């Protein structure tokens, strides 16, 4: 297998595309519209694959995995990558639910399956996905990119109008019911009653001041702290340094959230719901609570507010050390490369 790599996306745009470009890649999209399968887009995808003379194709998430298998030229191995758990399959969109449940029709032609968490793998096996040609590869993190930086902390807080001594909770995800952003805002409002020097910073596509659900949740009660809705951001390496705690309040669907590892690598301890491998990622360096338990979320936020600076700093150092020891990027990249090489080598 050669060293050239091509990134094809089903839909255009997004901050991740800009990150690829910054790293020297030139992603190409096939102009498929969200939620609308398109034969024209599949033909375009197949044409791109043929022109590239790809040795192997790696599909990323369900829609792309199906598209890769449908568009792959005969004889080209396809690897499927799953980054999702099936904790609440009934809450998925109908098309996504269909792709998950009937993805097994390709199991004779898929060369290998890669799961990002052990929980995800077991759930897919229960649906009939094969176990023999599957591997669990945890997400990896660039320890040089996500680094605690006190000067960045001061600069970002100044940009956002946050006092240097404020306790700041952060959360970053696209707006979606599974992410439970509304629940987080409500929990923050309750936990910070009487704590004026607190801020909740939320980022992600659709997480902005035009989001009526989030604004309504914020205004439902008198807030002790402030809620900042920043929308989609491409500077998470900077933004993470402004946080004292990172919160992942998801109700379902999480498998191995990248953002938890990014926060921990930045020296930020985490509060997370117990989904997928979240508890394994955090270990004893943060707080793990049951999903859907609003009271536990409020208690976790209150516990974080009660923590003194030395204890908070020690927890952040332990979080970074855990990511460095268990989830560094280079070994993860090597495991993916081994899977792809084996797919090419097998007839």
**Structure confidence by residue, pLDDT tens digits, 166-181:** 999 999 999 999 999 9
CA distance 278 to 125: 20
Q: Using 50, 70 and 90 to split pLDDT, how confident is the model at 184?
A: very high
Residues 67 and 154 in one domain: no
Residues 313 and 167 in one domain: yes
Tens-place pLDDT, residues 92-146: 889 999 999 999 999 999 999 999 999 899 999 999 999 999 999 999 999 999 9
Residues 191 and 275 in one domain: yes
Q: Does some domain include residue 1? A: no
Residue 221: what pLDDT? 56
Q: Give the structural domain span for 207.
A: 150-326
pLDDT above 60 for 222: no
Query: Per-residue pLDDT averaged across 219-228, rounded?
Result: 72
CA distance 79 to 69: 9
Domain count, the chain: 2
Residue 4: what pLDDT? 73
Residues 69 and 12 in one domain: yes
Residues 184 and 110 in one domain: no
Q: Give one word for 138, left, alpha or beta, with left for phi > 0 and alpha for psi -120 to 50.
A: beta
CATH of the domain at 113: 3.40.50.2000
Q: Does some domain include residue 23? A: yes
Q: pLDDT > 90: what percent of the chain? A: 77
Residues 84 and 63 in one domain: yes
Query: Per-residue pLDDT averaged across 76-104, rounded?
Result: 91
Strand order in the sheet with 270-273: 226-229, 198-203, 167-172, 245-248, 270-273, 287-289
Tens-place pLDDT, residues 295-343: 999 999 999 999 999 999 999 999 999 999 999 999 999 999 999 999 9
Residue 3: what pLDDT? 54
Q: Does some domain include residue 51? A: yes
Query: Per-residue pLDDT averaged across 202-230, rounded?
Result: 86
Give every CB contact of residue 59 below 8 A, 6+ residues apart in sequence: 65, 66, 67, 68, 69, 78, 79, 80, 81
Residue 221, phi then psi, degrees to nearest 5? -135, 165
Q: Does some domain include residue 145? A: no
Residue 56: what pLDDT? 96
Q: Does some domain include residue 35? A: yes
Residues 52 and 29 in one domain: yes
Residues 18 and 104 in one domain: yes
Q: Using 50, 70 and 90 to split pLDDT, how confident is the model at 23?
A: confident
- Share the mean pLDDT of the chain: 92
Q: What is the pTM of this model?
A: 0.78
Residues 341 and 301 in one domain: no
Residues 203 and 309 in one domain: yes
CA distance 119 to 130: 15
Tens-place pLDDT, residues 116-129: 999 899 999 999 99
Q: Does some domain include residue 2? A: no
pLDDT above 70 for 281: yes
Q: Does some domain include residue 3? A: no
> If residue 100 lies in a helix (H) or strand (E), which one and from where to where?
helix 94-102
Residues 49 and 162 in one domain: no
Residues 263 and 334 in one domain: no
pLDDT above 50 for 1: no
Q: Does some domain include residue 175? A: yes
Q: Give one word for 54, left, alpha or beta, with left for phi > 0 and alpha for psi -120 to 50.
A: beta
Beta strands at 112-115 and 134-136: parallel, antiparallel or unpaired = parallel
């Amino acid at each position: 297998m050669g060293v050239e790599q091509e990134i094809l996306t089903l839909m255009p745009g997004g901050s991740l595309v800009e990150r690829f470009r910054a790293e020297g890649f030139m992603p190409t999209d096939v102009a498929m519209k969200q939620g609308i399968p398109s034969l024209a887009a599949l033909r375009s995808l197949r044409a791109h694959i043929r022109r590239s003379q790809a040795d192997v194709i790696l599909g990323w998430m369900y829609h792309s995995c199906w598209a890769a298998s449908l568009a792959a030229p005969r004889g080209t191995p396809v690897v499927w990558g799953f980054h999702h758990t099936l904790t609440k399959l009934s809450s998925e969109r109908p098309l996504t639910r269909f792709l998950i449940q009937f993805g097994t029709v390709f199991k004779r032609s898929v060369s290998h399956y890669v799961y990002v968490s052990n929980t995800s793998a077991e759930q897919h096996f229960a649906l009939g996905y094969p176990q023999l040609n599957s591997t669990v590869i945890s997400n990896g993190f660039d320890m040089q990119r996500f680094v605690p930086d006190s000067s960045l902390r001061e600069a970002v807080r100044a940009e956002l109008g946050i006092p240097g001594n404020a306790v700041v909770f952060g959360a970053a995800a696209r707006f979606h019911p599974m992410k439970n952003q509304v629940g987080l805002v409500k929990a923050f409002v309750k936990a910070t009653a009487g704590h004026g020097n607190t801020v909740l910073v939320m980022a992600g596509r659709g997480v902005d001041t035009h989001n009526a659900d989030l604004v309504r949740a914020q205004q439902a009660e008198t807030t002790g702290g402030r809620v900042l809705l920043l929308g989609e951001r491409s500077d998470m390496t900077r933004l993470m340094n402004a946080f004292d705690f990172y919160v992942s309040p998801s109700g379902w669907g999480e498998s191995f959230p990248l953002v938890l590892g990014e926060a921990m690598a930045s020296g930020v301890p985490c509060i997370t719901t117990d989904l997928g491998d979240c508890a394994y990622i955090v270990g004893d360096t943060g707080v793990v609570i049951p999903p859907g338990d609003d009271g536990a979320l409020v208690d976790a936020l209150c516990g974080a507010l009660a923590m003194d600076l030395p204890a908070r700093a020690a927890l952040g150092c332990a979080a970074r050390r855990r990511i460095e020891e268990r989830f560094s990027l280079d070994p993860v990249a090597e495991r993916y490369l081994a899977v792809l090489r084996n797919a090419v080598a097998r007839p």
